[in-house]
A and B are shown apart, each in its own frame.
Chain A
């Protein structure tokens, strides 16, 4: 069985955007485009993730729990896409990275993203996942009941003339197994070097077991302050599995980590097997001389990410 997604034409046919829709960048109405971005992201996994899972299923012993479990996951991917149903009932924390040209209102961008998220929730594309931290009360809209913290929106002006909105839906189970280390770490025998980072990553994956819905994808940020470090580790998860790290040393390090992690025997869902991660993405940042953080964000196999581009003519495309 080869997991096959519906054609792009089929996806377009269900689009909430009318044929030939263009955003009016002066009036700035991006609500329909962001709604379409959400619709696609909840039900359609990126092809590079699917390809990696198929390759790993072939690498497992035929008929083993690991192979069967990867088969169930692939069947789920095909089904969610065909039915336009959420891949996972946990449609996650909704995180967006917006880059826009000079002159576009960030207040307006944020308001429109919030409107699209509320509408997607109303349509059952997103589960109402945003509750008061202490009260547990659920407004049912996915909008932060206290401020504007959720959906999480990172806004940045850039020098290009188009708008880019990257989205990630990050499930709670995998978020819970993320970890931050401060080196040196005597218990791990980890110093302030690449060998120390390796020890942190291996330790975090061992502790996570199958809990983050393995096979996972890891974002590893070295340096930063605590916030910048975690933030970068998460943003790294937007990278494609087929994309190499531009830094030769880190690329080799990533490959070594993938192979060592997959020798731990944790396997899909932690049932045992050869497939514990599909990929590891590493980046080096600045740091304060007194600090050395290693931050690890764990993304489940249902790695829902997508980028909406709105060009200068208002034409929207999804990749």
Chain B
């Protein structure tokens, strides 16, 4: 199990390979469909310092606001990443993000972006919302909450020991592609098409 702390240097990210299990600590920014469409369409400058050195996390959390107005995370597992396929590479390039966290993996366009900019795609355990919320140590801020609503807003958080698996690396490797190919071959033999 490798440990990563943000900001993660490019050399460290480029040394990671698919299948590596890591524990991530540091700054993570949540964003999903509306946030990604917004980042690509408007490329807001105010997001630059927020995303610098942070990882993007595809997640719409269940949150709770305390009496003083502060926020805490109740449940925050990953959402399906492929919905951001048309945006992700451009977001990586625009903001120089070193890591994207989500589930289900992404496509060739994102893979090309990861290779070009020196970043990895990290898979979180889908459905482990309570466990992952436990590892969110602090909600630093939230942006676009009124405009996007809670699941779609940019939540800025500090995490500790987020358990992740590298499923797409910076040299074009994809655990998703490997498993797909192997399972497809096995299916063909089960169906007698092999």
A interface residue numbers (CB < 8 A to B): 43, 65, 68-69, 72-73, 75-76, 79-80, 83, 85-91, 124, 127-129, 136, 138, 140, 171-173, 176, 188-189, 199, 202-203, 206, 209-211, 213, 260, 263-267, 269-272, 300-302
Contact = CB atoms under 8 A, between A and B. Distances in A.
Given A73-B127, A83-B130, A269-B126, A91 B62 contact: yes
Interface of B: 19, 21, 34, 59-64, 74-77, 79-80, 82, 103-105, 123, 125-134, 149-151, 163, 165, 167, 175-176, 178-180, 182-184, 186-187, 190-193
A128 to B, nearest CB: 7
Pick the 8 closest A-B CB pairs, nearest first: A80-B130, A213-B126, A76-B131, A89-B75, A76-B128, A86-B75, A89-B129, A302-B127
B182 A300 contact: no
A88 B77 CA distance: 6
B191 A124 contact: no
A237 B112 CA distance: 39
A260 B190 contact: yes
A127 B128 contact: no
A272 B183 CA distance: 9
A80 to B, nearest CB: 4
A160 B134 CA distance: 44
A173 B105 CA distance: 13
B127 A76 contact: yes
A89 B149 contact: no
A15 to B, nearest CB: 19
Contacts of A85: 74-75, 129-130, 133
Nearest to A173: B80
A136 B134 CA distance: 29
Contacts of A129: 151
B191 to A, nearest CB: 6
12 contacts: A72-B163, A80-B75, A86-B62, A127-B75, A140-B149, A173-B79, A206-B184, A263-B190, A264-B187, A269-B123, A269-B126, A270-B179
A246 to B, nearest CB: 27
Please classify the interface of chain A as helix (H, G, I), strand (E, B), loop, or mixed, using the class held by over half of its residues.
Answer: loop
Given A43-B130, A176-B80, 18 more contacts: A65-B19, A65-B165, A80-B75, A80-B129, A85-B133, A86-B62, A87-B130, A88-B77, A138-B151, A140-B149, A171-B127, A173-B80, A210-B104, A210-B176, A267-B179, A270-B104, A271-B19, A271-B167
Nearest to B133: A85
Nearest to B80: A173
Contacts of A266: 179, 183
Contact of A90 (B77, B132, B133, B149): B77
Contact of A79 (B103, B125, B130): B130
Contact of A173 (B59, B126, B180, B190): B126
Contact of B61 (A89, A206, A213): A89
A68 B193 CA distance: 34
B130 A76 contact: yes
B64 A86 contact: no
Contact of B125 (A69, A86, A173, A263): A69
Point out which of B79, B105, B125, B187 has the most chain A C-beta atoms below 10 A from its C-beta.
B125
A165 B187 CA distance: 39
A206 B187 contact: yes
A124 B175 contact: no
B131 A65 contact: no
A81 B162 CA distance: 20
A264 B183 contact: yes
A301 B192 CA distance: 30
A300 B190 contact: no
Given A73-B128, A85-B130, A265-B186, A272 B104 contact: no
A172 B151 CA distance: 13
A305 to B, nearest CB: 14
A271 B178 CA distance: 9
B69 to A, nearest CB: 15
Contact of B149 (A138, A173, A272): A138
B60 A127 contact: yes
B125 A269 contact: yes
Contact of A264 (B62, B79, B186, B192): B186
